[in-house]
Amino acid sequence: MSRINGFIGRRDFWKLLGIKGLTITTTAAVASQLSAQPASFADVHPVDPNPISPNEALKLLLDGNQRFVEQTRKYPDQSLERMRIVALGQHPFASILGCADSRVPAEIVFDRGLGDLFVVRVAGNVASDTAIGSLEYSASILGCPLIVVLGHRKCGAVAEALDDKPLPGRIGLIVERIKPAMERIISRDGDTWENMVKANIQYQVEKLLERSSILAKRVQDGKLKIVGARYDIDTGRVLLII
């Protein structure tokens, strides 16, 4: 394209205008096609055709974990056909607020597949604002009947809270949301780290209910169950924390 003192020549100007015109026309055509298909966008969250109760959802999780521990996994819902089905809409039967630890992948330890679990992972399985918002979405929009706060043995974030030393960057913001749980273990016997892991799970469960009126209301109405659980990274077993 020729330029004289920074200006585009007449012939090149009309060429450029033609390209821009084509772009505008193409964009308008795409927008027109999209607007002509409102159903595909309006139906992002279709009604679950096979809803289950919170207790049924919990049983599915624990049964899957049993298979994982016994190495009799079924690898359900991991086919290409399943991928095509959930592409049309998701109906997860359980939400997991888990730790970001690489050793605790929820779909694997519960032997589940595509579209089964709505997973939110953050170090220390902390009920942060964004985590709560995500879980409110899964419960109120997707109709998920179960939330499991999944902590684990030998959690590094919990260890940092117990160490109570200054941390770099934003790591301290996460640890500060774990420290209040320390008050629960002051008079407890046994391993301090293990006690703190359990106390933090219980504390985060309570934070979900205290800080979210949406989740609390669904629990009150019997539409949602929130439980705490601890994953043992040595055995693979998940145990409920009462």
CATH for 226 = 3.40.1050.10
Task: With cut-offs at 50, 70 and 90, classify the pLDDT of residue 11.
Answer: low
Task: With cut-offs at 50, 70 and 90, classify the pLDDT of residue 49.
Answer: confident
CB 96 within 8 A of CB 148: yes
The pLDDT value given to residue 187: 85
Please check whether residues 13 and 126 belong to one and the same domain.
Answer: no
Please check whether residues 171 and 54 belong to one and the same domain.
Answer: yes
Give the torsion through C-alpha atoms of 160, 163, 166, 167, to 10 deg.
-20
| Mean pLDDT, residues 26-47 taken together | 50
Please check whether residues 52 and 123 belong to one and the same domain.
Answer: yes
Please check whether residues 26 and 63 belong to one and the same domain.
Answer: no
Q: For residue 181, give the DSSP letter.
A: G
- DSSP states of 75-120: -TT-SHHHHHHHTT----SEEEEE---TT--HHHHTT--TTTEEEE
Considering the chain, what is the average pLDDT of its residues?
87
Q: Which 3 state secondary structure label does DSSP give 240? A: strand
Region of 71 please: left (phi>0), alpha (psi -120 to 50) or beta: left
The residues pairing with 95 across neighbouring beta strands, listed in sequence order, are 118, 147
Task: With cut-offs at 50, 70 and 90, classify the pLDDT of residue 45.
Answer: low
| Mean pLDDT, residues 189-193 taken together | 94
Q: Which 3 state secondary structure label does DSSP give 220? A: helix
The pLDDT value given to residue 43: 52
The pLDDT value given to residue 23: 43
Please check whether residues 34 and 152 belong to one and the same domain.
Answer: no
Note the pTM of the prediction, 2 decimals: 0.81
* Counted domains in the chain: 2
pLDDT at 112 over 80: yes
Please check whether residues 19 and 76 belong to one and the same domain.
Answer: no
> Smallest Cα–Cα separation from 117: which of 72, 74, 61, 70?
61
Tens-place pLDDT, residues 54-109: 999 999 999 999 999 999 999 999 999 999 999 999 999 999 999 999 999 999 99
> Smallest Cα–Cα separation from 237: which of 148, 126, 153?
153
Please check whether residues 95 and 154 belong to one and the same domain.
Answer: yes
Please check whether residues 19 and 124 belong to one and the same domain.
Answer: no
CB 100 within 8 A of CB 156: no
Joined tokens for residue 77: 């819902």
Domain carrying residue 223: 48-241
Q: Could you give the CA distance from residue 216 to residue 225 in angstroms, rounded to a whole number?
A: 10
pLDDT at 27 over 80: no
Task: With cut-offs at 50, 70 and 90, classify the pLDDT of residue 14.
Answer: very low
Please check whether residues 21 and 66 belong to one and the same domain.
Answer: no
Tens-place pLDDT, residues 201-233: 999 999 999 999 999 999 999 999 999 999 999
Please check whether residues 155 and 76 belong to one and the same domain.
Answer: yes
Please check whether residues 67 and 179 belong to one and the same domain.
Answer: yes
Task: With cut-offs at 50, 70 and 90, classify the pLDDT of residue 181.
Answer: very high
Please check whether residues 113 and 82 belong to one and the same domain.
Answer: yes
| Mean pLDDT, residues 182-188 taken together | 91
Find the helix or strand (DSSP H, E) in which 4 lies: strand 3-4
